[in-house]
Each structure stands twice: as structure tokens, then as C-alpha cells.
Amino acid sequence: MNENLFPQWLLAVALSAACVTASAQLPGGDGSPGLSTAMLKLFGGVTTFSARVDVQVLDQTQTEHVRTPMLFAELDGRLRVEIDMGLMRGKDLPPAAVAGLKQLGMDRVISLSRPDKKAQFIIYPNAQSYVNLPLSKEETAAAAQNLTVVKTALAKETVDGHPCVKNQVIVKSGTNVVLTATTWNAADLKDFPVQITTRENALTTVMRFQQIQLARPDAKQFEVPAGFKPYNDAQTLVLARSKKVQNGMKK
């Protein structure tokens, strides 16, 4: 491999992983103002939970584009999402991409959304590093606003053994629609949405929640581990990691 191209290739792979993880907090993940906050509104009165989530993205023909398990947790408006990129499957995901991430120690990624700190932290545990991203002004403002939720019952269905009401949910900021989704709210889990679907640019995202725990998760999960090295952007982190890998290969 050409040594001059090596960091650029790893850079592209790892930046993609960071983008996937950051946007994976959101159905659609398009970075719309207030979307992360709006998503939490879909959970209604449940403000503390942890769960495993199977996420599917389907194209316009309902063919699976990508699929991955994630670990979700919320604690009073703080959101934690964890992805193991090695478990992600997609028709356009080359095996070399995951191999490159593992080489960098960046295949496991944790995203913490902290509106209280006006920041989002993208953490790479295997690299003992993290990226500190300030939340946008729109997202910070949305977190401070009282978003309204309009829920319309569509049908009664059973999902994974849970008796559910299928709802159309619209989250608004004033008169502006921030998020539209279909949710399956389980009567035996305090109306927790065991399934959420959204559509964005001909893509359908299906999130199915399993192993749901409604107890308060450990607050430490929502903090950056002590001793982890901070970076202001993912590009700088990737370049630092790629140089470390190169130096190790030369020895």
C-alpha cells in the first residue's frame, strides 16, 4: 500500500464511522434542527431507559440497505448510542472499511448527546480518545423549547409479544414540523415505543427495541471516561491514529 495514501484511506473510513454514529441517534439522521430532541419526544413520559435496538434502513423498493444493532440509553434528556461497526451489515459496506476501523481502534463508537452541556461527544473506547462537538444553536434552542406532540391512533397490533397501539406522531416547534414518525407503543411497557419507523428521502428507517429496561441507567455511562484524550474534530483524531498505526508497522 502506498504510504502517502494510507492515512487518507483510513481518514475516509473513520470519518464515515463518526458520521454514522452521530446521525444514528436520529431516525433519518439528516441533522435537522432539533431532531435529536424531537426524537426523545417519541418516548412520551419515559425519560429513563436502556435497550438494544435493531436498526434497518430500507431503500425505496423496501430492500435492506444497511442493518446494525445499537445500544440506546436515555437519562433525563441525555442520550447514549453505542455501535460496534464490526456488526454492521450493508450491501455497499466493504469489508476493508471495518478492517481499517479496527486497525485504528475506532470500530467501537459511542455517541453522547448532552444538551445540558451544549455538546455531543463521540467516544472511541479502544483508542481512549473522543471528539467534542458543540451542539448547533438550533439543537440547543430546541432542547430549551417546549416541543408539542400530536399523536393519532391508527390501529392495534402486536410487536414481539407486546400489545401495541400503532400511532402517527408529529413533533412540532410552533407551527413547524420537526419530525414525523410511526410508533408502536406497548401497553405493558408504559407506552414505550417498541418500534419506530420514519421516512427520509425515499429511505425508510425501522428501529425495533428489545431487551428494554425502564430502570434508571448508570449516570456514569453518560460521561466521557477519565483520561481519554480530547480532540476538536474527527479528522485530527483519525490522522493521529493513522500515524500511530504507521509507526507501529515500521517497527
120-137 pLDDT per residue, tens: 898 999 999 999 988 776
Residue 78 lies in a domain: yes
Residue 74 lies in a domain: yes
d(CA 143, CA 178): 12
CA-based nearest residue to 234, from 127, 130, 110: 130
Residue 66 lies in a domain: yes
Residue 35 lies in a domain: yes
Q: How many domains does the chain have?
A: 1
Record the cell numbers describing residue 223, joined without a space.
Answer: 460521561
**Model confidence pLDDT, tens digit, residues 146-203:** 788 999 999 999 999 999 999 999 998 888 888 899 999 999 999 999 999 988 878 8
Domain that holds residue 131: 6-250
| Claim: this prediction has a pTM higher than 0.95 | no
Place of cell 474534530: 233
d(CA 19, CA 122): 10
Other beta carbons within 10 angstroms of residue 213's beta carbon come to: 12
Residue 1 lies in a domain: no
Q: What is the largest CA-CA distance in the chain?
A: 64
**Model confidence pLDDT, tens digit, residues 194-250:** 999 988 878 888 999 999 999 999 999 999 999 999 998 888 888 888 888 777 666
Q: What is the pLDDT of residue 100?
A: 79
- Looking up residue 151, the CATH number of its domain turns out to be 2.50.20.10
